[in-house]
Amino acid sequence: MSPSPKPLLATLRGEKQQIPPVWLMRQAGRYLPEYRALRAEKGGFLELVSDSEAAAEVTLQPIRRFGMDGAILFSDILIVPMALGQDLWFETGEGPRLAPVVQARAVLEALQLAPEALAPVYETVRQVAAALPAQTTFLGFAGSPWTVATYMIAGQGSREQSEARRLAYRDPALMQDLVDRIADCTITYLLGQIEAGVEAVQLFDSWSGSLSPAQFEQWVIAPTVRIVAALKDKAPQVPVIGFPKGAGGKLPAYARETGIDAVGVDETVDPAWAHASLPADLPVQGNLDPLALIAGGTVLDQTVDRILAAFVDRPHIFNLGHGIQQDTPIEHVERLLARLRGSR
């Protein structure tokens, strides 16, 4: 079989590769000096995201430096709350803030849609699509409804997602309406990215691990089913990667029930268990611990080899179990890529 001109896209469609394609979550970001220089010039993260030319440049930086098999759109999952009518800003050293917080129906009903927030992202996609090497797969993304809802309800990131979980118990009808609105906007947003030029999309459910099995079915699996079905109806050729971080033992149900084309596995999951437990031949993405990448050396080599061995008999995209850390040495990324590509 001749090599695919786009190994990552072929893998997402079920084709095993002799050398697994690789990209890294948050590969366009703070560990790169070229990113830090551009962000300093633009003045802040949100300014960078809303400047399509700059965001396209950031998306392309790791492709130029490392030759990754996939380029992930540089943006943020909180673009969707902006489009739904919340204000978004970033506090220095503290992260994103959203207002007004959605903890009552009157607040949700008062939000004024702002679809123009999505336009700069579409322009970023068009610029990147025109500049990518022919062999590189272009990945779009959005946050999954549960994860986005946790930010909209708390107004910021929350380790235990207590505010969102409390609201889901206290007023499940309000939570359902919020999740439905997020899902509708996410479908529009991802279809817009696809129309502008992305070739596959990933749904990030970064906070799915905080939910009980019943809540996971209601707030993670059900809206994912809805989003995937809508995307498949309008763009059946575009693979969808689902990444329910922290799902653990709920991961097989997610993979079976949602209709996704590939599943992302975080670093807490034993890759051998994942291979044995997930549907046969389902493409898997993951799952190097970002801290093992920081450690480097033989620890990195051994961890990489263990992951490769676990997934050798199924389509596999090599990735991290979550986003790359800002203090990751560039030479460790280079060592990882050399080992994957057979030169170590």
323 in a domain, yes or no?
yes
Question: For residue 328, what is the DSSP state?
Answer: -
What confidence category does residue 3 fall into, taking pLDDT thresholds of 50, 70 and 90?
low
Cα(13)–Cα(261) distance, rounded to whole angstroms? 7
Parent domain of 151: 7-340
For 284-319, how does the pLDDT look when each residue is reduced to its tens digit (9 = 90+)? Answer: 999 999 999 999 999 999 999 999 999 999 999 999
Catalytic, out of 76, 261, 266, 289: 76
Residue 110 has pLDDT above 90, yes or no: yes
Q: Is 151 a catalytic residue?
A: yes
- Whether residue 8 is predicted with pLDDT greater than 80 in this model: the reply is yes
139 belongs to a structural domain: yes
- Check 39, 97, 314, 335 and give the catalytic one: 39
Q: Spell out where 100-244 has E strands.
A: 137-143, 200-205, 240-244
Q: Report the domain count for the chain.
A: 1
Respond yes or no: is residue 39 known to be catalytic.
yes
Residue 117 in any domain: the answer is yes
Is residue 2, in this structure, part of any structural domain at all?
Answer: no
Whether 97 sits among the annotated catalytic residues: the reply is no
Q: Which residue is catalytic, options 31, 151, 189, 254?
A: 151
Active site residue 159: no
pTM of the model: 0.96
- Domain presence at residue 1: no
Residue length of the chain: 344
DSSP 47-103: HHHH-HHHHHHHHHHHHHHH--SEEE----TTHHHHHHT-EEEEETTTEEEEES---
Task: State the CATH number of the domain containing residue 284.
Answer: 3.20.20.210
* Annotated active-site residue in 13, 30, 126, 339: 30
Q: Residue 35 catalytic?
A: no
* 208 within 8 A of 179, measured Cβ to Cβ: no
